[in-house]
Amino acid sequence: MRYLIKFSYDGTNFYGYQKQPEKRTIEGELEKALYSINNHKDTRIFSSGRTDRGVHALGQMAHFDLDVNITLYKLKCALNSLLPKDIHVIEAKIVDDDFHARYMVTRKTYKYYLNMGEYNPLMRTCIYQYNKKLDIDKMKNAIRTFIGTHDFKLFVSKEVVKDNYIRTIYDAKIEIENNIVVFTFVGNGFMKYQIRNMVGTLIKIGKDKLPVEMIEKLLKKEVSDKYVYTAKPEGLYLVDVSYK
């Protein structure tokens, strides 16, 4: 039987999502828990995609197959009792045998939180502590440029080699609440560092270090990626993954 789970995690104390020998990773912890539940059988888990080290999730999704018969309620409880406190399964459901948590994604939503106000020690691992004012109007103008179908090559980590860097962003916006700047990006898929690079470059615009038009120039590859900056990971959250 194939199961799909929705789960959240605090990325602070993990070496990223992807399993690595001898490292504490989210995938590693999940597979350890599934090994116990699935009669001590190695059980692979397939997520909607990796998140970088230090990045969080409120609505990550993953599928796996179990040989054992277990109710959804018991599966959720068993996972949460076996998992460490920084990972939590929100929901479990049964899906078709040909469902795939990565290949069938239709849209993903990420949010990035930045604090323009006083440093807050309680939020140091879950909101980027920028602690200075930004020109929000400029950033609001600039972020709109990302909406649509573009070649995001200059916003992607150089480690990544792909045939195709074209992706569609359905929505991109900035909201403010009590000095917290919330960036939201909804798209059909995002590549490694793409969101952190989009946010980092927007921050430079908000600081008046780059003009609003730089986003368009980067998307059109009229300039080099030396104008692209990477925002810190701790402000970033995968908040939603949608399927057909």
Residues in the chain: 244
Q: Which is closer to its own copies, CB of 24 or CB of 162?
A: 24
User: Which residue stretch of 8-16, 142-150, 159-167, 217-225 sits at the interface with its own copies (rule: CB under 8 A)?
Assistant: 8-16
Q: Which of 52, 86, 135, 225 is catalytic?
A: 52
Q: Does 90 bind its own copies (CB under 8 A)?
A: yes
Q: Does 124 bind its own copies (CB under 8 A)?
A: yes
Q: Does 21 bind its own copies (CB under 8 A)?
A: no
Report the alpha-carbon distance of residue 69 to residue 219 in Å, rounded: 50
User: Which residue stretch of 31-39, 85-93, 148-156, 181-189 sits at the interface with its own copies (rule: CB under 8 A)?
Assistant: 85-93
DSSP string covering 18-50, please? Answer: S--TTS--HHHHHHHHHHHHTTT-----EES--
For the record, the structure tokens of 36 come out as 């116990």
| 52: annotated active-site residue | yes
Q: What mask of x and - would describe binding to its own copies in positions 45 to 84, judged by CB under 8 A?
A: -----------x-x---------------------x----
Report the alpha-carbon distance of residue 177 to residue 87 in Å, rounded: 27
Q: To which residue do tokens 């921050």 refer?
A: 203
Q: To which residue do tokens 């590693």 refer?
A: 28
Q: Which residue blocks in the chain are alpha helix, DSSP H?
A: 26-37, 72-82, 136-144, 194-206, 214-219
Q: What mask of x and - would describe binding to its own copies in positions 101 to 120, judged by CB under 8 A?
A: -----------------xxx
Which residue from 40, 85, 226, 244 is in contact with its own copies, where contact means CB under 8 A? 85
Q: Is 92 in contact with 4 (CB distance < 8 Å)?
A: yes
Q: Which is closer to its own copies, CB of 31 or CB of 86?
A: 86
Which phi and psi (to 5°) does residue 93 adopt?
-145, 165
Q: Does 87 bind its own copies (CB under 8 A)?
A: yes
Q: Contact positions toward its own copies, by CB under 8 A?
A: 8-10, 56, 58, 80, 85-88, 90, 118-122, 124, 126
Residues carrying an active site annotation: 52
